[in-house]
Structure formats: structure tokens, C-alpha cells
Amino acid sequence: MQNWENVTLLFSAGARQLKPSSKLTLAELLLANRLPPSLFQAYEVPGDGTLKPVPISLPLEEIPNGRNVILQCVRNTDIDALRPDKMEVVKHAPEPVAAMFDFQWADERRTPPTECI
């Protein structure tokens, strides 16, 4: 699976989709990589040698084409000691211990089936 648009969250109130990757904000991108957004200030690089501060809540899709964003760490953090990129799952169990054997999907209006009410 290449993207999470194929993943569905299932709640008692019905099914929900995850936010598409293009709608993530800079802060959410940091959180997805296990980095706290409060450590960073975001800057757009217009290409003229300057840096333009932008909000950490800026969605990725709103970054103009051809522009880069720098996420500058604003604290003296030893990133080599933190190494969030090295945190990984060692092994997945081929047969999970907990599973849901029966559930009902909600309809398009996110209402549960009448049998559940």
C-alpha cells in the first residue's frame, strides 16, 4: 500500500477516512515523523535569498509550486541522539491476538444500520 487514502478508521458512529497526505499541515508532517512541532519554526524560501516565516499550520498543498520550506529547529536539540527516523517496528504478528469478528459499516450519511439502534 502506497498511501493512507486506502485506510479506513472504523468507529461505533461509522467509518471515517484519514486526512489525505496533501491536506496535512507542516505540524502534522512533523508529528507523523515523531517530531514535536513546538521545536520548529517554518520558513518559505522564495528563491531571492530571503526567508519568509509561515505558520506551522500551513497545509502542504498551499506551498507554491517550485518553493521550498525550511523547518528550523528553534531549540538546541541533539537530533542525532533523538533519532526519530530510527524508531521502527521490529516485527508484525501474522495473526493478531485481538480482532473484531463482526461489524456493520455506516451508510454515506454516517448513520449506523437500523439493526444496531
**Per-residue cell: 4:** 493512507
Q: How far, in Å, CA of 56 to CA of 43, rounded?
A: 9
- List 8's β-bridge partners, or say none: 17
Q: How far, in Å, CA of 27 to CA of 20, rounded?
A: 15
pLDDT tens-place string over residues 51-92: 889 999 999 999 888 888 999 988 877 767 766 566 555 566
**Per-residue cell: 36:** 514535536
Q: How far, in Å, CA of 71 to CA of 30, rounded?
A: 9
- List 100's β-bridge partners, or say none: none
| pLDDT over 50 (residue 116) | no
pTM of the model: 0.62
